[in-house]
Every structure is written in structure tokens, then in C-alpha cells.
Copies of this chain bind each other. A is one copy, B any other.
Amino acid sequence: MIPSIEWTEENTVKMIDQTVLPFELKFLELNDYRDVAHSIKIMNIRGAPAIGVAAAMGMALATIEYKILPKKDFITSMEEAANLIQSTRPTASNLFWAVNRMLKIITSAPDDPPNISELVIEEAKIMAQEDINVNKNIGKNGAKLLADNDIVLTHCNAGSLATVQYGTALAPVRYAIEQGKRINVIADETRPRLQGARLTAYELHYDKIPVKVISDTSSGLLMRLGKINKVIVGTDRVTSDAVFNKIGTYLVALAAKDNSIPFYVAAPTSTLSLHETIKDVVIEQRDSSEVSHILGKLRIVPEGVECLNYAFDITPFKLVTGIITEDGVFTPQELLKKYK
């Protein structure tokens, strides 16, 4: 398992370029926060936790560039850097959370810019480590749900590549395997952007964890045939009545329910937004070319035919067996009681 992003000893940001996976394992090493912002925008790095850490590291790079300025100018420049980084993917909540955490240090620390830069770099490293720790605890809590010889379906990529390391939905699988359980994974390919076929398959195969890829149309049949017996997915946001995750998650949850298969959601507490309900959330619509073309390379839909491309799905709590956080495993009702 390779970290998707890290702060190097040379004070650069090193990340896997996920746009060329699984065909090439290429690393980007960036020393300009503008390049980090661009890499978030074009999805060299993706996955809410990983984006948050990338944003924090981008802010850290900016402090290195601006620490020679007088403090007032330093703060002004850092606010400009923050705006640029936040503009890259306007709906990713972790982006704002991470940048604001950095801005708070920058504007409230009594130190000089060079010392503030040290503090911000340290904070970025801490955030990366925090992410790994949260994921490991999700793994530990979730592994208790998995038995020897389980076949686990996951949708999209909520693995190591979506975080700094270890993953959210895939953490319980990794932990259970470390415990000696034999676990097989089925990866939904996850159209339109194919994060399952490309990224989940890649990272599990790389780590020698057994994985097979299926078309998104196949999960229901495999459950009927007894070839899947647990589901774990990640999430971008949990409201008081539903789980928001990659488009297609709701269909998987329906099939799990109809076949009495447990449906678990791995949710770092940073994704909980329990003051909201379904109606508060706007589902992002992305460019229709993601549907009409495969990975920007191969057209599959006739010219002139429109495509719809909603990026996220709504899975109501009635379909959710358990939510795995870094604190434990909870039914939706228990989750509301504990965190709301």
C-alpha cells in the first residue's frame, strides 16, 4: 500500500497521479501550491479525505513561498492562496475544512511568518497522520463484522487511494486479512468514472488482496447466487436520514436488503452532517461527456444524444445495516443518538 500523498523531507508534496492509474504508477512531486490546486482540480488526487490533506499541504507550500514577506503581506497572500485552493472543487467539504484549519493557525498565531510556516507544515503532517489513524480505527471496528471466507462487495473507491493510506471502506478488509481471515472483494466498476475498475482493483491487486471486477449491472444477481455476502461502501456525507455516496450506491443497498445481506457504510466522523436532511443536499451534476465517452477516450453514445450525469446517490437509513466510524459500529439510530 503506497501513500496516496505525503510531505517529503525536502518540503515537497508527493502524490500518486490517479488519472493514469491503473496503467501507470506515476508520482507527482510539487513545490508550488498552485500546482497542488491544479492537481486537485483535474483529479490527480481525489477522494474527500485525500483532498483535504492535499489542500492542507498546498497551504503549507504557500507559507514557504510567502514567509519572507512582512506579516501583514504574508497573511494577505495566504488568504489568496486559500481562495485558489478552495476554488478547485467547490463541493468537497473536506477542502474547506482543511484550508480553514490552516487559516486559523496563520491568522491567530503570534509568531513571525517563518515560525508560522513551521507550525503549518507540522499541522499538515499531523492531518495526514490523523487520517491514517482514523482509517485504522475504522478498519479495526469494521473487521469485527467480517468472517473468514466472506465475499465483500464495494462500490467506487473508498480505499487507500481516496485517503492518505489504508482507506475507509477497504480498511475493515485490510484489517480482517491482517487478522488472518480470508476475504475476497468484488469491485463494482462504478460508471461513469470507473473508480472501482481502475482504482479499487489496482490498489487491492497491488496489495495481493483477492479482487474481481464486475459491471455495475451485476451486483444483484451475484447476491442472489450467494456470491456476495457483505457490502461495505464509503460516504461523502451522512445526514440525519440518509447516506450520500457515489451514484449507484442506492441500487447496491436495495439488492443487499432484498437478499438479507448486511450493508455497511464506513464513515469517518468528519463526514457526519447530522443537522442536515436529504432535502438540504444538492446532488452534483457533472459533465455529460463522462457518460457519453469512456475516460475521455472512447465515445459510446451517438452524436446528438443527451446524457444525464448525477454524481451522488441517496441511500436512505432504512437500507443501512451499520455505520462504521473510528469510534465503533452503529445502527443509524445509534449514530444519531451518539453524534447528533
Binding site for B on A (CB under 8 A): 22-23, 186, 189-192, 194, 197-198, 201-202, 205, 211-222, 224-225, 227, 246-248, 250-251, 254-255, 258, 283, 291-292, 294-295, 297-302, 304-310, 312-314
Q: Is the CB of A300 within 8 A of B216?
A: no
A278 nearest CB neighbor, chain B only:
B224
Interface pair B216/A302, CB less than 8 Å apart: no
Q: Which residues of B contact A304 (CB under 8 A)?
A: 205
CB pair A212–B294 under 8 Å, yes or no, is no
CB distance from A239 to the nearest CB of B (A): 14
A-B contact pairs, 8 of them (CB 8 A): A23-B302, A198-B300, A205-B302, A205-B305, A213-B306, A218-B248, A218-B308, A220-B248
Find chain B residues with CB under 8 A from A22 CB. 301-302
Known interface pairs A191-B191, A254-B258, A294-B300; A218-B305 also in contact (CB < 8 Å): no
**A217 contact set on B, CB distance < 8 A:** 190-192, 216, 246-248, 251, 313
* Residues B192 and A215 in contact, CB atoms below 8 Å apart: yes
Contact A247–B215 (Cβ < 8 Å) = yes
Q: Report yes or no: B224 in contact with A250, Cβ–Cβ below 8 A.
A: yes
Given A306-B213, A309-B215, answer yes or no on A300-B197 (Cβ-Cβ < 8 Å). Answer: yes
Is there contact, CB below 8 Å, between B310 and A201?
A: no
B248 A216 Cβ-Cβ under 8 A? yes
Complex CA distance for A43 and B247, rounded to whole angstroms:
31
Which residue of chain B is the closest to A297 with respect to CB atoms?
B298
Q: A1 → chain B, closest Cβ, in Å?
A: 15
Q: Beyond A251-B255, A255-B251, A307-B213, is A300–B194 a contact (Cβ under 8 Å)?
A: yes
Which chain B positions have C-beta within 8 A of A308? 186, 212-214, 218, 222, 227
How far is B283's CA from A217's CA once the two chains are assembled, in angstroms?
A: 14
Chain B residue with the shortest CB-CB distance to A258: B254
The 3 closest A-B pairs by CB, nearest first: A217-B248, A22-B302, A191-B215
- Partner pick for A300 among B189, B205, B292, B302, CB 8 A cutoff: B189
| A213 partner residues in chain B, CB cutoff 8 A | 291-292, 301, 305-308
